[in-house]
Amino acid sequence: MDSPMTGNHTDAKQVVRTLLEHHACLMLTHINPEGDAIGSMLALALALEQRGIAVTCYDRDGVPENCQFLPTWERVRRELPDQIPPLVVYVDADRLERCGVTREELPGAEVFVRIDHHQGGTFDAGPALVDPGAAAAAELIFALLPLLDARLTPEIATCLQAAIMVDTGRFSYTNTTPATHRIAAELLAAGADLPMITEWTWGQVNFTAAKLLGFALSSLQLAHDGRIAWAVLRQQDFQAVNATPEDTEGIIDHVRTIKGAEIAVLFSEKRGVVRVSLRSNGTVDVARVARQFQGGGHTKAAGLTYEGAIENATHDVLHALEVALKHEPPGT
């Protein structure tokens, strides 16, 4: 296999040694998960089970509908198990709190392993395989397979292919590299179900999501001389069509297509909490802005959760983005 992780080979081997020293693990990923989070977690779980390791997968928000075709997706629990094994692995998250849990909620956990491609500040201690240059966490899982002596089955290939396609926008984002295409080719050759991935992820939109898109587009506004395009979904919008936060998937991509906008923002209000999605079409690092509000992500795509009124969220986040833009001349 062509591994993109040559620069972190020592870290990869340390992570694999740690994984294989245990007979069971709890695997986590970030809150409000998407295709890379779920696909990478499931792929690694399937690989570890080939080595006789019992894996429990957890995400407090469950599996989004557009990922409910991935092999073994039903295994993801929304409650922590009563018995926490000594090994905890978290995937596609820059720190444990991004998974919606604290160490105090994991009694019995002794070793924490992180596998991630996010930029971030202070990381949790423990073995880690981190490469912000990887297009998706799935690329790192792919690189671990030969070190784990795990077979690349059609099930694992489908999980990894879906993860990579989601995080690269079907290979259209700037994080796509030649290595990404080589990995995708190997996954396809190994039996990744490309038609099913495409149909479930992009080929169908439910009615409530379509209505929610209409509310978002009708709220579109420009800020900072048109360099920021932003939209708002209020609590009443969700109630009007009985929508869930999951139905906002993909709406931010419509906002980011506004001509001339270097940053796209979607504010989604739900029960006193505002979820904020950020996208950058220019040189502004939106992950840096998200970290000001305890969020995170990548240079071009990030998110955060704001506790408070949506009016305060729009004011504070837009102000932070305008400050960031002042350091970047238009059109850079």
Mean pLDDT across the stretch 189-200? Answer: 96
CA dihedral 168, 31, 215, 162 (to 10 degrees): 30
How much is the pLDDT for 73? 98
Give the residue from 263, 257, 309 showing the smallest Cα distance to 290: 263
Does residue 120 register a pLDDT over 80? Answer: no
How much is the pLDDT for 272? 81
Mean pLDDT across the stretch 5-10? Answer: 59
Looking at the DSSP bridge assignments, the partners of residue 275 are: 268, 305
What sign has the CA pseudo-torsion 211, 220, 34, 158? positive
Each residue of 220-276: pLDDT tens digit? 999 999 999 999 999 999 999 999 888 898 899 999 999 999 999 999 998 889 999
Each residue of 145-192: pLDDT tens digit? 999 999 999 999 999 999 999 999 899 888 899 999 999 999 999 999
Say which CATH topology domain 6-202 has. Answer: inorganic pyrophosphatase (n-terminal core) (3.90.1640)
* pTM of the complete model: 0.86
139 alpha-carbon distance from chain centroid: 13
Say which CATH topology domain 207-326 has. Answer: Diaminopimelate Epimerase; Chain A, domain 1 (3.10.310)
How much is the pLDDT for 121? 56
DSSP-derived letter for residue 257 is T
What percent of the chain is modeled with pLDDT above 90?
A: 80
What sign has the CA pseudo-torsion 17, 23, 29, 31? negative
Average pLDDT of every residue of the chain? 92
Indicate the pLDDT class of residue 122, thresholds 50, 70 and 90.
low
Report domain extents, the chain. 6-202, 207-326
